[in-house]
Amino acid sequence: MIDTSAIRGKLTPNRDLSELTWLRVGGPADWLFQPADIADLQAFLRMLPAEVAVFPMGVGSNLIVRDGGLRAVVIRLGRGFNAIEVAGDTVTAGAAALDAHVARRAADAGVDLTFLRTIPGSIGGAVRMNAGCYGSYTADVFRSAQVVLRSGELVTLGSADLNFRYRQSDLPEGAVLVSASLQGTPGDPEALHARMQAQLDKRDQTQPTRERSAGSTFRNPAGFSSTGQADDIHDLKAWKVIDDAGMRGARRGGAQMSEMHSNFLINTGGATAADLEGLGEEVRKKVYDTSGITLEWEIMRVGDP
Catalytic residues: 167, 216, 298
* Cα–Cα dist 147/178, whole Å: 6
How far from 154 is each of 9, 40, 172, 174, CA to CA, in Å? 18, 12, 12, 13
Beta carbons of 297 and 218 less than 8 angstroms apart: yes
How far from 215 is each of 99, 118, 156, 299, CA to CA, in Å? 14, 10, 29, 8
* Cα–Cα dist 31/51, whole Å: 14
Instruction: Of 31, 62, 64, 60, give the one whose Cα is nearest residue 48.
Output: 31
* Cα–Cα dist 13/4, whole Å: 12
* Cα–Cα dist 17/3, whole Å: 22
* Cα–Cα dist 153/46, whole Å: 8
* Cα–Cα dist 51/53, whole Å: 6
* Cα–Cα dist 286/264, whole Å: 16
